[in-house]
Structure 1
Amino acid sequence: MGSFVLRALAVVAAAAWTMSAQAADINYGSRAPYTVNQPLNAYSWAGPYLGGNLGYAWGSVANNPTKPSGFAGGVQAGYNFQNGPWVFGVEGDINASGAGDTFAPWKFSNPWFGTLRGRVGYAFNNVMFYGTGGLAFGELRATTFGLSESHTTAGWTAGVGAEMGFAPNWSAKVEYLYVDLSNTNFVITGVSNGYSFGLIRAGVNYRF
Structure 2
Amino acid sequence: MKKFLLGTVALIAFAAPAAAADLAARPYTKAPPAPVALVYDWSGFYIGANGGWGSSRKCWDSVAPALLIGAEGCHDATGGTAGGQIGYRWQASSWVFGLEAQGNWADFRGSNASTLFLGARNDSRIDAFGLFTGQVGYAANNVLFYVKGGAAVTADRFRIFDIPTGLVVGTTGDDTRWGASVGAGVEFGFAPNWTAGVEYNHLFMQDRTHTFVDGAGAFFAADRISQDVDLVTVRVNYKWGGPVIAKY
Residue of structure 1 in register with 2:127 after alignment: 111
SS at match of 1:45: coil
TM-superposed deviation, 1:47: 0.8
Residue correspondence of structure 1 range 10-29 to structure 2 within 5 A: none
**Structure 1 gap ranges (5+):** 1-38
Residue of 24, 31, 56 corresponding to 1:59: 56
Residue of structure 2 in register with 1:7 after alignment: none
TM-superposed deviation, 1:184: 2.1
Residue of structure 1 in register with 2:228 after alignment: 196
Residue of 49, 73, 80 corresponding to 2:82: 73
**Contact 1:151–1:184 (CA under 8 A) maintained in structure 2:** no
TM-superposed deviation, 1:62: 3.2
Q: Is 1:46 aligned to residue 43 of structure 2? A: yes
Q: Give structure 1 regions of 4+ aligned residues with deviation exceeding 6 angstroms.
A: none
TM-superposed deviation, 1:70: 0.7
Residue of 93, 96, 99 corresponding to 1:87: 96
The Cα offsets for residues 54-91 of structure 1, whole Å up to 9 and x where unpaired, read as 01111211334121011111100000010011100011
Q: Which is worse superposed, 59-68 or 88-97?
A: 59-68
* TM-score normalised by structure 2 residue count: 0.65
Count of residues in correspondence between the two structures? 170
Identical aligned residues as a percent: 33
CA RMSD in angstroms comes to: 1.5
Q: Distance in 1 between matches of 2:156 and 2:110?
A: 12
Q: Distance in 2 between matches of 1:62 and 1:77?
A: 33
Residue correspondence of structure 1 range 25-36 to structure 2 within 5 A: none
Matched to 2:138, the amino acid is Y
Matched to 2:75, the amino acid is T
**Structure 2 gap ranges (5+):** 1-35, 61-72, 114-120, 162-167, 213-220, 241-248
Matched to 1:115, the amino acid is L
**Contact 1:140–1:194 (CA under 8 A) maintained in structure 2:** no
TM-superposed deviation, 1:40: 6.7
Q: Is 1:177 aligned to residue 204 of structure 2? A: no
TM-superposed deviation, 1:103: 1.4
| Higher CA-based Rg | 2
* TM-score normalised by structure 1 residue count: 0.77
SS at match of 2:39: coil
